[in-house]
Amino acid sequence: MAFAQVVAAATLRVMPLSACRTGAGRFRRLAQFLIQGSDERIVWAIEATGRRLGSLSTCLIRALVAELVLDSNDDGPVTLTIGVRRTASGAFEAHAWLARRDRVLIGATADEYVPLVNWTRLPA
């Protein structure tokens, strides 16, 4: 999981998000073959390695990696959302999270954020 997060972070530094997601879509089957387990176990691994990577692993990086390896299963497709909000001090914040059927799988609660973008599948 750490390797996937480092690659995602490096890719986002040189490519736009849309190109990064398109490239990731090409490697999805390989990633899912290499990284197997329940959704809960995969999310735990992403979060655990993300904590060790520090500022390199942002909410967007974690959500992108989770979108890559979590399969759309019988519970429905996963949705990657990017939202924004203003803090009490007036600062602008953005946040990314991955959810399935309104249940956040990775990323903090999305209640206070106004969604800007919702993607339900990786480009092929």
The 10s digit of each residue's pLDDT in 32-67 is 888 888 889 999 999 999 999 998 999 999 999 999
- In a domain, residue 124? The reply is no
pTM tops 0.85 = yes
Q: Round to whole Å and give the CA distance between 70 and 53.
A: 21
- In a domain, residue 16? The reply is yes
Give the model's pLDDT for residue 101: 85
Angle (deg, nearest 10), helices 17-26 and 59-69: 30
β-strands 103-106, 114-119 pairing: unpaired
What confidence category does residue 93 fall into, taking pLDDT thresholds of 50, 70 and 90?
A: very high
The chain-wide mean pLDDT, for the chain, equals: 89
Structural domain span for residue 60? 2-119
The count of structural domains within the chain is 1
Give the model's pLDDT for residue 102: 81
Q: Round to whole Å and give the CA distance between 52 and 21.
A: 24
Give the model's pLDDT for residue 74: 66
- In the block, which residue shows the tokens 């736009």? 16
Q: Is the pLDDT of residue 72 over 70?
A: no
